[in-house]
């Protein structure tokens, strides 16, 4: 028996559909999962463009929901201790850390584990068991994967629609801290920006101002609770527009950069009031240096925080948030475009061109 999977085998080249053997037996602690839905993340575009060092070929897809087809010996419970059984619908943290290196042990920065590996990113598809990405009919989860059984009340669309963006935003806000009452500027209204709006609102932000484009994404940002939405394409002086939207015109208490272009960081510093905090959340690709004025950091006595990835507990927090506040943050509705495995290139393209809210692959 084989599973179909979509493989990135050369940067900038079309993804290819391949067949890999579906494992008949599992190692202890492994799980075989039938993929129900796999999200297309902006990072997948970066990977396709060769902007991060990864092994090729790779089966893309790190935001996935599926149903358990088989459980390896000893794998009986999910990450928080609930029993697992064949047929259960599950999600999982897409990365695994070693727990033993300098960053895992001594400095408690597990997201910077020296041996961190992520489904859909770090596993060469040539090596058995091959199926370590979400753009596929099946995925094999390694021992130690943080698996979460999904409650019936939580839709697959909501989980994939929130995707790793929500996990990442939760981690970032945890590191920076938001005080209730803070006036928050969110730069960017893609999936990370929407997630940041949701987390900022949950954490008690009194006012959320989002900057971004295009128009359909800004509209969605308003649905997620943004109090003001500034179209960066249509606003001649957006610095003035942002400041005017803050109390007294002094600037925001908190700025969350969710754009990805280096220049957004320099711009974000201008949105900060003196003594503000800023979270640089979107700079996953290394696009090199950009002009930034460090005098602003000293004079405005800013706090700037970076955050990378997430831990399993952030995935748990995300799932709890989705369940608790489904009506408040319409993540499920962000899934606007669905594709089959055969249409994977088309799917990637919609994400690359910011056409969709969230594009997903539904293998069957």
Task: Decide: is 317 part of the binding site for a second copy (CB under 8 A).
Answer: yes
We find the least distance from the C-beta atom of residue 174 to a second copy, in angstroms, to be 8
Handedness of CA 242, 246, 251, 255 (dihedral sign): negative
Residues 6+ apart with CB under 8 A from 131: 3, 5, 20, 22, 23, 59, 138, 139, 140
Residues 176, 188: Cα–Cα separation, whole Å? 18
Task: Decide: is 287 part of the binding site for a second copy (CB under 8 A).
Answer: yes
Pairing of strands 303-306, 272-280: parallel
Task: Decide: is 298 part of the binding site for a second copy (CB under 8 A).
Answer: yes
We find the least distance from the C-beta atom of residue 62 to a second copy, in angstroms, to be 17
12 vs 295, which CB is nearer to a second copy? 295
Question: What are 31's two structure tokens?
Answer: 């799980």
148 vs 339, which CB is nearer to a second copy? 148
73 vs 301, which CB is nearer to a second copy? 301
We find the least distance from the C-beta atom of residue 28 to a second copy, in angstroms, to be 15
Within 90-149, the residues that bind a second copy by CB under 8 A are 99-103, 105-109, 111-112
We find the least distance from the C-beta atom of residue 248 to a second copy, in angstroms, to be 6
Task: Decide: is 282 part of the binding site for a second copy (CB under 8 A).
Answer: yes
Task: Decide: is 281 part of the binding site for a second copy (CB under 8 A).
Answer: yes
We find the least distance from the C-beta atom of residue 89 to a second copy, in angstroms, to be 21
Task: Decide: is 289 part of the binding site for a second copy (CB under 8 A).
Answer: yes
Cα→Cα distances 128→42, 75, 137, Å:
27, 20, 16
Q: What does the DSSP 8-state code read for residue 56?
A: S
94 vs 356, which CB is nearer to a second copy? 94
CA atoms within 13 A on the CB side of 88: 20
Binding pattern for the stretch 45-84 against a second copy, x by CB under 8 A and - elsewhere = ----------------------------------xxx---
157 vs 202, which CB is nearer to a second copy? 202
Closest C-alpha to 249, from 273, 231, 276, 275? 273
| Among positions 17, 228, 241, 297, the unique one binding a second copy when judged by CB under 8 A | 297
Question: What are 194's two structure tokens?
Answer: 């929407």
225 vs 343, which CB is nearer to a second copy? 225
| Among positions 21, 55, 74, 204, the unique one binding a second copy when judged by CB under 8 A | 204
Residues 152, 174: Cα–Cα separation, whole Å? 28
Binding pattern for the stretch 2-41 against a second copy, x by CB under 8 A and - elsewhere = ----------------------------------------
Handedness of CA 325, 314, 59, 347 (dihedral sign): positive
19 vs 105, which CB is nearer to a second copy? 105
Residues 78, 286: Cα–Cα separation, whole Å? 35
Residues 8, 15: Cα–Cα separation, whole Å? 5
| Among positions 175, 214, 234, 244, the unique one binding a second copy when judged by CB under 8 A | 175
Region binding a second copy by CB under 8 A among candidate stretches 17-25, 215-223, 275-283, 341-349: 275-283
Task: Decide: is 291 part of the binding site for a second copy (CB under 8 A).
Answer: yes
To which H or E segment does residue 19 belong? strand 16-21
Residues touching a second copy, count (CB under 8 A): 72
168 vs 334, which CB is nearer to a second copy? 168
Task: Decide: is 190 part of the binding site for a second copy (CB under 8 A).
Answer: no
Closest C-alpha to 121, from 93, 101, 99? 93
Q: How many CB atoms lie within 10 A of CB 291?
A: 7
Residues 133, 58: Cα–Cα separation, whole Å? 7
**Residue located via tokens 């500027």:** 185
Region binding a second copy by CB under 8 A among candidate stretches 35-43, 132-140, 218-226, 278-286: 278-286
Residues 183, 266: Cα–Cα separation, whole Å? 19
């Amino acid at each position: 028996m084989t599973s179909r999977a979509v493989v990135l085998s050369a940067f900038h080249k079309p993804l290819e559909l391949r067949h890999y053997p579906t494992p008949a037996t599992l190692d202890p602690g492994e799980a075989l999962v039938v993929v129900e839905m796999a999200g297309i993340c902006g990072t997948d575009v970066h990977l396709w463009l060769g902007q991060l060092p990864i092994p090729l070929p790779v089966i893309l897809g790190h935001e996935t929901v599926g149903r358990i087809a088989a459980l390896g010996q000893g794998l009986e419970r999910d990450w928080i201790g609930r029993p697992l059984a064949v047929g259960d619908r599950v999600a999982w943290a897409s990365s695994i850390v070693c727990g033993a290196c300098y960053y895992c042990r001594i400095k408690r920065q597990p997201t910077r584990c020296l041996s961190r590996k992520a489904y859909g990113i770090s596993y060469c598809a040539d090596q058995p068991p091959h199926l370590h990405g979400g753009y596929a009919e099946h995925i094999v989860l390694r021992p130690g994967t943080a698996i979460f059984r999904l409650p019936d009340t939580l839709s697959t669309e909501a989980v994939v629609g929130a995707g790793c963006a929500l996990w990442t935003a939760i981690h970032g806000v945890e590191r920076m801290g938001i005080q209730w009452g803070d006036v928050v500027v969110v730069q960017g209204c893609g999936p990370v920006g929407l997630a940041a709006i949701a987390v900022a609102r949950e954490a008690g932000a009194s006012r959320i101002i989002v900057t971004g484009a295009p128009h359909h994404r800004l509209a969605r940002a308003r649905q997620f609770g943004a109090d003001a939405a500034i179209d960066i394409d249509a606003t001649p002086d957006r610095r003035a527009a942002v400041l005017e939207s803050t109390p007294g015109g002094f600037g925001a208490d908190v700025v969350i950069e969710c754009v990805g272009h280096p220049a957004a960081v320099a711009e974000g510093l201008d949105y900060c009031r003196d003594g503000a905090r800023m979270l640089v959340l979107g700079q996953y690709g290394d696009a090199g240096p950009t002009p930034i004025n460090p005098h602003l950091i000293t004079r405005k006595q800013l706090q700037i925080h970076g955050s990378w990835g997430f831990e399993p507990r952030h995935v748990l927090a995300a799932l709890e948030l989705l369940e608790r506040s489904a009506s408040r943050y319409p993540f499920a509705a962000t899934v606007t475009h669905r594709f089959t495995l055969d249409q994977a290139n088309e799917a990637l393209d919609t994400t690359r061109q910011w056409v969709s809210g969230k594009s997903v692959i539904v293998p069957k």
